Amino acid sequence: MPKGYCPYCGLGIEGDFTYCPGCGKPLPSFKEAAGETSSIAIPHRMEIIDNILTSMNYAALLFKDLGTLVILAILHIIPLANLIVIGYILRVIQGSPESDVLPSFRDLGKLWIDGLKLWAVTFIYMFIPSLIIAAASFGLFLDAWRFHTVRRAGIVPRLLGPDFAEFLAGKFAIFLPIIIGSLILLFLISIILSMTVIHSVKTGSMWRAFSVGEIFRIISRIGWGKYLIWLFLMFILTVMFSALGNSPLIGWMITLLLNPPFYVFVARSAAQIYSEGRASDT
């Protein structure tokens, strides 16, 4: 059994290491002497409701730093500059759950680069199934347009040409399984996407986001049931938060100011549940 875990990547530490043999980051010092306890972070399990409440309390700290809150809110609505906000969320993930204070808002260039990396991870995961869905849908539309054009031009006699409903049925038999399969793949990716982002941040490697085996082991240690319940609650909270934007007159203003704290809340909660499944063999 490991004596403790790296607070950055979750690797089980069994000896006196100065740097983590997994991610290479400096470890808190600890000794094996009797009576001394390790300062290396040991994952602790918490109820989902406790996870949510502590994450809300953490996100509420932004309201004590109104300057940072306003800047993040403004940057969030500016194309490209909003990557700085994503980079700040990365810092929240890096420090969670070990730190109880918000990360500093500085080095905007580095924040932008980090935000771009996280955006790239999400884009790569979603690109292939989205491309397949778009290509299949476009192919179906193109064939329907060609059929309609040929029939209207009289190139194919009406009596000899297939009925349009039969034509669509034949095309759906080809394209529909492709679209449905891609949607299922997209859904499965969305299930693990949050953990892929957290894993890449915690390991300090963008490419570890694509170590699907490691990510599945982490989720297994969390417990699939608990993880899916947490994911469902995050979905419900996101829908409720989005509904605020539909409030008359001031809905957009409420959403604008609450966007950064909500992102911080989700990132903190995800990092906390990730910490429960930190693997000792990755």
**Higher pLDDT pick, 122 / 12:** 122
Print the domain residue range for 10.
1-42
Question: What mean pLDDT value characterizes the chain?
Answer: 79
Tens of pLDDT, residues 255-278 = 788 999 999 999 999 999 998 887
Higher pLDDT, 254 or 79: 79
Tell me whether residue 239 is in a domain: yes
Q: Give 182 or 74, the one with higher predicted confidence.
A: 74
Does residue 261 have a cis peptide bond before it, meaning omega lies within 30 degrees of 0? Answer: no
Verify that 2 and 66 share a domain, yes or no.
no
Which pair of tokens denotes residue 202?
């915690």
pLDDT in tens, 190-244: 888 889 999 999 888 888 888 888 899 899 999 999 999 999 999 999 988 888 7
The rounded distance, in Å, linking the Cα atoms of 193 and 17 is 31
> How far, in Å, CA of 161 to CA of 159, rounded?
6
118 and 10 belong to one structural domain: no
Please indicate, yes or no, whether residues 232 and 246 belong to a single structural domain of this protein. Answer: yes
In a domain, 280, yes or no: no
- Residue 5: predicted pLDDT: 60
Domain total of the chain: 2
Residue for token digits 């809150």?
69
Is 282 within a domain? no
pLDDT value, residue 46: 79
Q: How far apart are CA 209 and CA 189, in angstroms?
A: 12
Lowest mean pLDDT among 12-16, 117-121, 230-234: 12-16
Rg (alpha carbons) of the chain, rounded to whole number = 24
Cα 213 versus chain centre, distance? 17
CA distance 209 to 199: 6
Beta strands in 93-235 (DSSP E): none
Cα–Cα distance for residue pair 126/206, rounded to 1 Å: 16
Percent of the chain with pLDDT over 70: 74
Whether residue 281 is contained in a domain is answered as: no
pTM of the model: 0.72
Residue 21: the pLDDT is: 61
Q: Quick one: pLDDT at residue 59?
A: 95
Q: Does residue 127 register a pLDDT over 90?
A: no
Distances (CA, A) of 40 to 3, 4, 64, 128: 8, 5, 30, 39
pLDDT on residue 8: 58
What whole-number distance in Å separates Cα of residue 280 and Cα of residue 13?
8
Q: What is the largest CA-CA distance in the chain?
A: 93
Tell me: do 163 and 94 sit in the same domain. Answer: yes
